Chain A
Amino acid sequence: MSATAEATAGPRSEAARGWSLPPWWEKALFPLFILAAILFPFFFDSGGSVMGTATLALAYCVMALGLNIIVGFAGLLDLGFVAFFAIGAYVMGWFGSLFFAEINDEKGIHILTAGRASELPGIHMNFILVLVCAVIATTIAGMLIGLPTLRLRGDYIAIVTLAFGEIIGRIAINGDALKIAGQPLTAGRQGITPVDKIDLPFLEPFTSLELRPWYWMALALVAVALGVSFALRNSRLGRAWIALREDEVAAVAMGVPAVKTKLLAYGTGAAFGGMSGAFLGSFNNTVNADQFQFYFSILILGMVILGGLGSIWGVVLGAIVLTTINFYLIPDVFNSIPSKLGFDFDTTQITFAIYGFLLVIMMIIRPEGLIPERRRKQELHDESEDALVAQAP
C-alpha cells in the first residue's frame, strides 16, 4: 500500500502539508551543528556530569545513526543491536587492557602505544587501530547475523536479531568459563577493567578527570557517522535500501540485489555500533557483561523511533533527548525536586515509571517522531486520508 501511496503523492500532498523547510536544510544544518557542538564544552565544567552526559549522548548518537541505517533506511527491524556494542567494546577490552596478562611471557604486546601503556603486560594497541579492528569485527558480525534473516520477513527479522543479541550477551556473561587456549574469552560480570585511556598521536593521553577530549573524540565519531549517513542516503545503495524497505518484491523485480543490499545495511550499521562500542569501552573504563542487556537494544531503538525513523537529524535529536532524560534529567534533576519542595519522598524508586511514562507521552504526542523523514511524512499523510475516505459513510 505504501508504495502506491508514494507514487500518487506529489504536488497534492506537498501543498496540503502547508509549510515545509527547503530540502537542503538538512545538509545546511551539518556544519552549524558541528560548530555549535565543538563550542559546547566551553560553557560547562570539564569534569562535571553535564560533560559526562554529553559525551554519552554523542556516543549513543553514533549507535543510533548506525541502527537508523538498518531499521530506518533498509527497514530491517533489529532488536539485537547490543551485539555490536558488545563486540566493539570487547575488541577494546582485548586489545587495550591487562586482560591477556600472560601473553608473550608476561611482557605483553604493544603496537604504536606510548607512555604507561607500553610497559604493561597484556595487549595494548593504539586507539585508532582498535577502532579499525572494532569496525572490521562488527562489520563481519553484522553480515553474519544478517545471513539467516535474508529469507525472513517483517518481525521475524526482529526476533532473530534479538536472539543473536541475547546469545552474544550470554557469551559475555559466561565467557569467563569459556577457555580458548587456556585464556578466558571475557571477564564475565566482573568486567575487564581498567581499560586503556584513548591515546591519540600528537595529543596528550586522555584522563578521566578531563572530559572535554573525550567529548570531542565522540563528536568526531558523530561527524563521521553523520557524513556517511548523508552520503549513503541519496546514493545508489541508499536508494536501493529505501526501495527494499518500501516493497521488496518490486525492488527485486527492478534489479535491486536484495542479498547484497541487505547485508551491506547490516554491515554498515554494525560498524557504527562497533566504533561507538570501542569508544565506550575506554570511556567507561570497563567492559562488563552486565552492560550488554536487551534493554540497551531497546534504548537505541527508542532513540531511532522517537527521533523519526530514517530521519538523520531526528535520530540525532532522539539520541540526545533520551540520553539526557536517562542519565541527567531523571537521576540528577528530577530526584532533587521533592527535597527542594520540602517533601519527604524518594523519587529514585519510580525512575523506571517516569521513564516509561515519558516514552508513552512522547510517542503519543509525536507518533511519527520528533523530526519525521520527509518521505514517511508524505506516506502518513496520504494513508490517513485513505483512512478518512474508508470511514466515510
Chain B
Amino acid sequence: MEAATVPAGPAVRGDRLKAFIGTYGLIAVLLALPVYFAIYDLVNDGDLTRIGNNLVDGISNGAIWALVAIGYTLVYGIVELINFAHGEVFMIGSFIAASMFTTFGLTEDTSVLPLAIALLVIIVICMFGSGILNTMIERVGYRPLRNAPKLAPLITAVGFSFILQNVGLLWRGGSQEGIPDLIRSQHEVFSIAGVEITNGDLLSILVTIPLLLLMTAFIGRSRLGKAMRATAQDPEAARLMGINVDTTISMTFLLGGMLAGAAGLIYALYQTTIWYFQGFTAGLIAFTAAVMGGIGNIKGAVLGGFIIGFIQQLSDNRDELFGFFPLGSAWTPAVVFAYLILIMVFKPSGLLGEQTRDAG
C-alpha cells in the first residue's frame, strides 16, 4: 500500500549517477523486447499488426493477473506475508463460476441480456465465495501465527494451497476441463488497423477497469481503507488509535479474495478451460507482477500485471530473440522471470515501490 512507504532520505551526490543509470537502464530493459519485435514486424510484415495483436491480448491477460496481484500486494502490505494460497483462491473462484454456469443453465446459445444479468449475479457470488474463503484461511491459518516468526505463516499458506488444490482435484477432476464458451470469447467485435478486439478482450477490460477504480477509491477514501493504510504503516500505533487491527486485516483478505474471485470468473470466460492446477501458475505470475511493480503498491501490481501479460504474449507468439535466444510458450516462464530479475537489478524496490517498513 502506498502509505506503507516512507520517504527516501535526501539523495547524496554519488547516488545521482546510480539513479540515472537505474532509470535509463530500466527503461532500456522494459523497452528491449517490444521495440525489437516492433522493428522486426516492420521489416518483415511492413506493419505493426502482429505486435498490436500481442499488445491487446497481453492487456486482457494482464488484467486478470493484475486482479490477482492486487490480492498479493494488499496482503503483503498489511501483514508482510507472501500468501501462497492466493492463487488457489483464484482457482476456486473459477470453479465456482463454472458450477454456476451449469446451475443457471447458461449455454453458448443464451442471448445477451439474460446472459449479462446472470453473469452479474455470478460475479457477485464468485467474489463473495473467494473473499470469504480467503478470510477463513486468514482466521484459521495466519491469525494464530501473528506473533510467530515471520516465515511460519508462509508454511501454513503452502499447506492451505495444497488443501485447496486437493479440493479442486476432487471437485472437477484432475484434467483440464473445457467449459461452455458463453461470451464467444474469440469472436471479433471490431478491429483497428488490423488489430482485432475480441469479446474476451472487451469483457476483461470492462470488468477489470471499474473494479480497479473502485478499489483505489475504496482504499483512498473510505474509513476502512484508511484503517488498512494505517495498519500497514504501523499496526501497534493503529491499535493505539482505536483501529481494530484484526477486523482490518480480515477485511483486507476479504477484498483480496473478492478480486481473485472476479479474476477467476473472467479467466473462466476468457480461456474457457479450467483445472485445479491453474491457481499455481497464476499465483506465481501474479506474485511476480506484484513484486515487479513494487510489493505493497496497488498501482505497481496493476502495472506489473499488464507488463507480464504483454511479455507472455510476445514470448508465446515468437520463435527466437536476437537470432539466438529461443522463445515460444515453452520458454515463456523463463522469459518472464528473466525480465523480473533485470528489473530488480535496475530498480531493487520494484517499478513503483519505495522503501518499505521492512527496510527501515
Contacts and interface: CB of A to CB of B under 8 A. Distances in A.
A184 B345 CA distance: 30
Contacts of A368: 148-149, 152
B154 interface: yes
Interface in B337-353: 337-338, 340-341, 344-345, 348-350
Interface string B320-360: 00000010001101100110110011001110000010110
Contact of B330 (A154, A160, A174, A380): A174
Contact of A167 (B156, B338, B348, B356): B338
A166 B158 contact: no
B77 to A, nearest CB: 12
A62 to B, nearest CB: 21
Main SS of the interface on chain A?
helix
Interface string B155-188: 1101111110111011000000000000000000
Which of A71, A156, A177 is the most central at the interface, judged by chain B CB atoms within 10 Å of its CB?
A156
Contact of B76 (A155, A364, A380): A155
Nearest to B168: A352
A317 interface: no
B291 interface: yes
A364 B139 CA distance: 12
A254 B38 CA distance: 51
Contacts of A327: none
Interface stretch (A122-130, A233-241, A264-272, A354-362): A354-362
B214 interface: no
Interface in B123-157: 140-141, 144-145, 147-149, 151-156
Contacts of A301: 154-155
B161 A356 contact: yes
B236 interface: yes
Contacts of B243: none
B190 to A, nearest CB: 37
B147 A153 contact: no
Contact of A367 (B84, B152, B161, B166): B152
B251 interface: no
B160 A360 contact: yes
Given A153-B359, A163-B337, A170-B333, A309 B151 contact: yes
A53 B210 CA distance: 53
Interface string A146-190: 001101111110111011101100110110011000000000000
Interface residues of A, number: 54
A159 B291 contact: yes
Interface residues of B, number: 53
A99 to B, nearest CB: 21
B336 to A, nearest CB: 8
Contact of A177 (B76, B80, B167, B326): B326
A258 interface: no
Nearest to A152: B348
B334 A363 contact: no
A321 interface: no
B141 A170 contact: no
A391 B166 CA distance: 39
B155 A359 contact: yes
B348 A356 contact: no
B284 interface: yes
Contacts of A352: 162-163, 165-166, 169
Interface in B248-306: 284, 287-288, 291, 295
A302 interface: yes
A6 B341 CA distance: 34
B239 interface: yes
Contacts of B76: 155
Interface of B: 76, 80, 82, 84, 140-141, 144-145, 147-149, 151-156, 158-163, 165-167, 169-170, 236, 239-240, 284, 287-288, 291, 295, 326, 330-331, 333-334, 337-338, 340-341, 344-345, 348-350, 356, 358-359
Given A159-B288, A356-B162, 9 more contacts: A148-B344, A159-B287, A163-B288, A166-B334, A305-B154, A309-B151, A355-B159, A359-B158, A363-B145
